[in-house]
Amino acid sequence: MKKNIIKLTSIFKALSDENRLKIIHLVYKKNLRCKLDKCGQCEDLACMKFLAKHLKIGFPTISHHVKELKNAGIIIIKKEGRWSYLQINPESLGEIALFAKTFGGKAPKRSLFSFKLSSDLTLNP
């Protein structure tokens, strides 16, 4: 039980930053689109350069946020040559869902995210 609480605390701390939430959302959307296109290796996979470009924040800042997400087990980094591609770790997000489910309630009717690839990612009010 204590081990689970420590793991969840680590996950929630990592998710407590707006930029990290945006990174997770971008990684999910990019990887989903790539899988739907069934292209295998393509430029649509989320890499650090992609994240820096779309979030309009510096590479060192992206690197810091990605490291925090990786340490919490939320994302997985796959290296291919000099490129690092990011994927969501479904196990950690499953832990959050399981934790939330213990309190009951229903899923919201709409997402908190408004996502347009050509513009900034924003949180809905």
Nearest CA-CA partner of 62 in 21, 13, 23? 23
Extents of the domains making up the chain: 2-123
> Would you write out the chain's pLDDT as a tens digit for each of its 125 residues?
678 888 889 999 999 999 999 999 888 887 655 544 444 455 556 888 788 888 889 989 999 999 999 999 999 988 878 778 888 888 887 888 888 888 776 666 666 555 444 344 444 44
* b/e burial code for range 18-34 (CB count within 10 A of at least 16 → b): ebbbbbbbbbbbbbeeb
Predicted pLDDT at 47: 81
3-state secondary structure of 69: helix
> 2-123 is classed in which CATH architecture?
Orthogonal Bundle (1.10)
Query: How many angstroms separate the CA atoms of 42 and 44, rounded?
Result: 5
